[in-house]
Structure 1
Amino acid sequence: MQRKCIILGLAILIFGLIGCSSNNNHASKETQEAAADDSRETVTEKEEVSNDADQKAEEPEGNKADVKSQDADEELKEDMTDEKTLEADIETGMGEAETNGEEQEDAAFLSPTSTEYDIEKVEKHGEWAEISAEYPVFGTEEADKAIEMEAKKHFEEFETEFEENEKLLAEISYEGGESLYFWEPTVTDDYISFMFGHVMDFGGPHPYTYQYPFNYDLKNQRELSIQDFVKNESQLSNLGDLIYNKLENEGPELDMLEEATQPEWDNFQRFILMEDSIIFHYEHYELGPYAYGVFDVEVTFDELNEL
């Protein structure tokens, strides 16, 4: 009996311990499940927070893109506006430039200080002979009249011999004739100056050339001569000596240099004016043989003033 009681007590004790263990395990399991739930909630909350953060992070980028797009549109509009403005300015500027250019061209043509000029030409043609005369037109009435008269005077001289020269050239089957041209003019406020050139070619060993000066006083409306620059024979003699000394060392011995520089007015009439000097011109045969060529001597206005 006593043994049964002991066994029963032990059994009760064992079942009690098992129950406690079971309760503890159950509590532990519930605790673990609760902890897991808390962990899942925490993770979910973190994910939600992360998603919110991502959305917030994405929103500024989208806004930035929108802002950039708006800025680009505004810049494009500004560029288009600037381009239209530039085109309008260019068109306006071109119009003004064309107008100013036309005004300048007209002014240049009418100004006696410009080298702008037109060229007039008269000519006549035969089967073998041809004659012509060219001369400049500056737009200054009195000077242009004088130039035209000088050019046409030479052309009329060509015409008087035209028929005879036509026959002569036909006999030798040679195309030739006479022409008048001009050197590049010098134009200032005071004068127009250039040289007419006369060329004759009738089948000889070489063409024959001759120069005719044209110097026109714009203020007094008349042609100029050497007497307008050299006032007396003493100065003329000094001018001859000056030219002689300048030409003496030109190269070949000039047989007729001394004679050509004698103090005679006719020896110094073939000249043209530059801006600050006078150029005296000597033709073939005037100073030596044809092979020596022509000679030009420059005398400055300062040198003239010291004569």
Structure 2
Amino acid sequence: MQKKCIILGLAILILGLVGCSSNNNPTSKETQEAAADDSRETVTEKEEISDDADQKAEEPERNKADVKSQEADEELKEDRPDENEQETDIETGTDEAEITGEEQDDAAFLSPASSEYEIEKIEKAGEWTEISAEYPVFGIKEADKAIEMEAMKYFEEFETEFEENEKELAEISYEGGESLSFEEPTVTDEYVSLMFMQVMDFGGPHPFFYQHPFNYDLKNHKELTIQDFVKDESQLSNLGDLIYSKLENEGPELDMLEEATQPEWDNFQRFVLTEDSIIFHYEHYELGPYAYGVFDVEVTFDELNEL
């Protein structure tokens, strides 16, 4: 009986403990659930903090990358100019090439033996009359000045007759005038030689043509004459005979040939030079009628030295 009571008491005690434990479980679960929620919130906050930290950490990197990218773009733009700049550069490069070419041409002009030259032209025009003069420019200072003065001499002669010719041409309603041009010059280390060509057209039966030779000594800076090539009158006489023999069988009989080849210095002043010869020139009427034309006679330097 006593044992049963003890067992019953123990059973009641156990049941009581179980009941207490059972009564405490809801609180424990709530506590655990709250703790779990807190834990989750903490974890979430930590994750958010971590994400924020990572984001903040990444932002400087991205900013650095963006800055580097921008710097790279700017450098690329500097290294690779836009199309307009490229076109400008291309055009500039072309101009520089042209300037270089012009400088090379100028350098060529400075060489006395160069056949290159520029052409200068002066002109004046009225209602009925026009006058002009062209002459070459080689880039040889003294020679260029002498050639310019020679061309200006003829142009100034044209000007003195300009007003009178303007009136006369207006009366017949004819457009005319005077012009000076030149044939291809010869240029060596020693001289420049050219023939000026003058044309006068004032409404007559035909224009008038005149040729004016000009020879310039590059070493002594003076105009060349026949005395620079013929030593004395004896050699001059032989030169006259040589020219006579070269012309006596040229077409019709030249009535004035003998007179034109007499040993007088003035008879041999009209000439131009090549690299190895002298070409003597005779205008209309100098050897015969106008219809006979003009005559040129070439005498080589070798022939001249044998006289």
TM-score when normalising by structure 2: 0.67
Q: Report whether the alignment pairs 1:172 with 2:178.
A: no
Code of the residue aligned with 1:255 in structure 2: it is D
- State the match for 1:111 in structure 2: 111
C-alpha contact 2:176 2:202 (8 A) present in aligned 1: yes
- State the match for 2:141 in structure 1: 141
Code of the residue aligned with 2:122 in structure 1: it is V
Code of the residue aligned with 1:260 in structure 2: it is A
C-alpha contact 2:106 2:139 (8 A) present in aligned 1: no
SS across alignment from 2:180: strand
CA 1:102 to 1:198, structure 2 compared with 1: closer, same or farther past 3 Å?
closer
C-alpha contact 2:128 2:169 (8 A) present in aligned 1: yes
- State the match for 2:294 in structure 1: 294
SS across alignment from 1:280: strand
Output the aligned Cα RMSD: 1.9
SS across alignment from 2:215: strand
- State the match for 1:195 in structure 2: 195
Distance 1:180 1:253 in 2: 31
CA 1:133 to 1:102, structure 2 compared with 1: closer, same or farther past 3 Å?
closer
Q: Which runs of 5+ in 2 are unaligned?
A: 1-92
Q: Report whether the alignment pairs 1:219 with 2:219.
A: yes
1:148-167 matches, within 5 Å, as: 148-167=148-167
Q: How many residues align?
A: 215
SS across alignment from 2:286: coil
- State the match for 2:268 in structure 1: 268
1:1-307 matches, within 5 Å, as: 101-102=101-102, 104-307=104-307
CA deviation map 1:50-108 (0-9, x unaligned): xxxxxxxxxxxxxxxxxxxxxxxxxxxxxxxxxxxxxxxxxxxx999979755542321
Distance 1:99 1:157 in 2: 38
Q: Which runs of 5+ in 1 are unaligned?
A: 1-93
* Identical columns (%): 85
Distance 1:288 1:236 in 2: 22
Distance 1:153 1:111 in 2: 27
- State the match for 1:37 in structure 2: none
C-alpha contact 2:109 2:140 (8 A) present in aligned 1: no
Point out 4+ residue stretches in structure 1 off by more than 4 angstroms. Answer: 94-103
CA deviation map 1:132-152 (0-9, x unaligned): 010111101111111111111
Distance 2:186 2:173 in 1: 40
